[in-house]
């Protein structure tokens, strides 16, 4: 019974989208530290396939234990592969490859792993997904309680984020419909040069209506509940901050989805200085402007967590 | 450092982030002018002005936020609807006609109190301005706030100088001088800043930005 409650209360946030270098790991690590300082028990999961190095952001040497020790049954409990950090309430779990393989597999093992993660003794889990775009990354993003996209105000970063969002969006729609011809249609829609002339989600819904009204309704419902979050990183001017609002409006017009602009982090030399020292910025220089920004975003996550618990 | 200071805007304002008006999966062609501008049907002229400026900032050919989602024609199409929406909604008569033909029910229809209250609940977060973020304003390089721009914006909102004068306790003459850019008649800097701040607030503009740009313009014209 007790365990059920702890499963109920847990929030899993995934941090992904965009491309490498937009600051996902930096934000994940520092948000984790902030939350744990607020008294939230946090587990950070490093699922960045391209370059798993959350440990370095926390000043830990490459961990000897990983998720694969649990999967290969070298340890019996998932909590045994958790790595403690210098911060109380904050633990780290590594093993990107294994994690994503498991998500990919439609098996008992996958469900078992997800259940093990959910039963970990913590309040919040932050998963750093890296810049990947693979189906398993998308699935993890969609499975979480809240997906956070980290973007910098540059065209390349925004472009990649939209690509990620589009893939996640269509994947979510595909998972929500029943009719196999509708599923096939959604696959086709991802390719802008498709024969049906489907250019955007609006065209898609029109096409789906002609095949199956119920599925069309399912899609409409799905769009309403898909609410990813946005963090704009390395902001240098007021105009940059406004780009976040523009992204929000563009997503509403194009996808019909409500993207939540969670906040921004200003560009700050202190960030790279802290990374070189292998110390989280919010500990190393909590007065710096970037640290202040991360703290504000973390407190919002903590708030939404306590709101969810109140329900 | 100075430039950095300008970024010290509290993200608290993000808390008041209004829920965008729900359009769901509605095609742009099927959206009302209110949905196009992401505002509620009861939006004030001030809110419409702000939403319009945000939309203009967002939907244009060079905007980093749209080029990879929309084709050039699509962006152009949105730009046109935004202009049209602004034109209609800022004109009292046109707006009334539009509401009658495009809104399911006029906001104040039927005198039954129960109906009115349930209707009000149907529009979540309508009491909030469409964009609560104070830093949000149009491109400084394009349209800096000088007297003439301020006057245009005020007139666009259909706000009388007398209204601001009464509300902010500033003489109409001073407000006129501000708009006419009669710099030699304006009061000393300390007072002028205060007046500009009140003026900006009454139009829902960003006060620091208005003050900065107005004073810069004043300095530049002095040099000439």
pLDDT digits (tens, 9 = 90+) for A92-104: 998 766 666 666 6
Q: Is A297 on the interface with B (CB under 8 A)?
A: yes
Q: What percent of chain A is modeled with pLDDT above 70? A: 89
Q: Could you give the number of structural domains in chain A?
A: 2
Q: Is residue B177 part of a domain?
A: yes
Residue with tokens 């109190």: B113
Q: Is residue B9 part of a domain?
A: no
Between chains, do A243 and B54 touch, taking CB under 8 Å as contact? Answer: no
- Which residues 6+ apart lie within 8 Å of B17 measured at CB? A260, A261, B132, B133
Q: Is residue A63 part of a domain?
A: yes
Instruction: Say what the pLDDT of residue B117 is.
Output: 36
Q: How far apart are CA B33 and CA B28, in angstroms?
A: 10
In residues, how long is chain A?
A: 311
Q: Is residue B198 part of a domain?
A: yes
ipTM higher than threshold 0.95: no
Q: Is A224 on the interface with B (CB under 8 A)?
A: yes
**Domain of A168?**
154-233+254-259
Between chains, do B24 and A220 touch, taking CB under 8 Å as contact? Answer: yes
Do B28 and B93 share a domain, yes or no?
A: yes
Q: Is A300 on the interface with B (CB under 8 A)?
A: yes
Q: Which residues pair with A125 in a beta bridge?
A: A12, A43
Interface test with A, best of B7, B67, B75 (most A CBs within 10 A): B7
Smallest CA–CA distance, residue A246 to chain B, in Å, is 5
**Domain of B88?**
18-121
pLDDT above 90 for B18: no
Instruction: Say what the pLDDT of residue A151 is.
Output: 96
Q: Among A58-72, A283-297, B61-75, which is the least confidently predicted range?
A: A58-72
Place A108 in a pLDDT band, splitting at 50, 70 and 90.
low
Between chains, do B69 and A246 touch, taking CB under 8 Å as contact? Answer: no
Q: Could you give the number of structural domains in chain B?
A: 2
Q: Is residue B11 part of a domain?
A: no
Place B104 in a pLDDT band, splitting at 50, 70 and 90.
confident
Q: Is residue A248 part of a domain?
A: no
Q: Is residue A34 part of a domain?
A: yes
Counted across chains A and B, CB pairs separated by less than 8 A come out at 112
Q: Is B25 on the interface with A (CB under 8 A)?
A: yes
Q: Is B117 on the interface with A (CB under 8 A)?
A: no
Per-residue burial over B187-203, b = 16 or more CB atoms within 10 Å of its CB, e = otherwise: eeeeebbebbebbbebb
Q: Is residue A193 part of a domain?
A: yes
Do A211 and A133 share a domain, yes or no?
A: no
More confident residue, B63 or B6: B63
Q: Is residue A245 part of a domain?
A: no
pLDDT above 80 for A155: yes
């Amino acid at each position: 019974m007790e365990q059920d409650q702890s499963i109920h209360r847990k929030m899993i946030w995934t941090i992904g989208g965009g491309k490498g270098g937009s600051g996902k790991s930096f934000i994940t690590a520092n948000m984790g530290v902030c939350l744990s300082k607020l008294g939230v028990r946090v587990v950070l999961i490093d699922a960045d396939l391209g370059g798993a190095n959350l440990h370095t952001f926390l000043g830990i040497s490459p961990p000897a234990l990983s998720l694969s020790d649990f999967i290969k049954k070298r340890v019996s409990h998932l909590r045994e592969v958790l790595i403690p950090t210098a911060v109380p309430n904050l633990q780290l779990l590594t093993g990107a490859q294994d994690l994503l393989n498991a998500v990919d597999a439609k098996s008992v093992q996958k469900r078992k792993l997800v259940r093990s993660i959910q039963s970990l003794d913590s309040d919040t889990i932050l998963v750093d997904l890296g810049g990947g775009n693979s189906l398993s990354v998308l699935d993890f993003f969609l499975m979480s309680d809240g997906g956070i996209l980290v973007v910098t105000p540059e065209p390349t970063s925004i472009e990649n984020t939209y690509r990620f969002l589009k893939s996640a969006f269509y994947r979510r729609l595909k998972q929500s419909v029943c009719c196999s011809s509708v599923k096939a249609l959604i696959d086709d829609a991802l390719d802008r040069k498709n024969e049906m002339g489907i250019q955007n989600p609006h065209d898609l819904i029109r096409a789906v209506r002609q095949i199956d009204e119920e599925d069309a309704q399912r899609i409409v419902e799905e769009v309403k509940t898909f609410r990813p979050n946005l963090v704009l990183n390395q902001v240098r001017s007021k105009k940059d901050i406004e780009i976040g609002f523009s992204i929000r409006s563009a997503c509403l017009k194009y996808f019909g989805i409500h993207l939540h602009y969670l906040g921004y982090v200003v560009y700050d030399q202190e960030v790279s200085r802290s990374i070189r020292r292998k110390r989280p910025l919010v500990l190393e220089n909590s007065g710096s402007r970037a640290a202040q920004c991360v703290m504000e975003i973390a407190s919002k996550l903590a708030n939404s967590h306590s709101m969810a618990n109140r329900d | 450092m100075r430039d950095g200071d300008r970024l010290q805007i509290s993200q608290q304002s993000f808390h008041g982030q209004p829920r965008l008006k729900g359009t769901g999966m509605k095609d742009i062609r099927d959206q009302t002018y209110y949905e196009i501008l992401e505002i509620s049907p009861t939006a004030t002229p001030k809110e419409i002005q702000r939403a319009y400026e945000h939309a203009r900032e967002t939907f244009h050919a060079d905007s980093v936020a749209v080029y990879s989602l929309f084709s050039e024609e699509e962006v152009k199409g949105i730009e046109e609807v935004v202009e049209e929406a602004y034109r209609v909604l800022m004109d009292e008569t046109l707006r009334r006609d539009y509401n009658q033909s495009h809104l399911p029910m006029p906001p104040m229809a039927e005198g039954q109190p129960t109906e009115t209250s349930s209707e009000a609940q149907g529009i979540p977060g309508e009491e909030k301005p469409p964009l609560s973020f104070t830093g949000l304003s149009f491109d400084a390089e394009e349209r800096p706030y000088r007297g003439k721009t301020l006057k245009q914006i005020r007139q666009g909102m259909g706000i009388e100088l007398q209204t601001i004068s009464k509300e902010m306790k500033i003489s109409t003459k001073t407000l006129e001088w501000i708009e006419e850019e009669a710099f030699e008649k304006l009061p000393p800097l300390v007072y002028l800043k205060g007046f500009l701040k009140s003026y900006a607030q009454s139009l829902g503009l960003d006060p620091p930005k208005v003050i900065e740009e107005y004073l810069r313009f004043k300095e530049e014209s002095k040099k000439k």
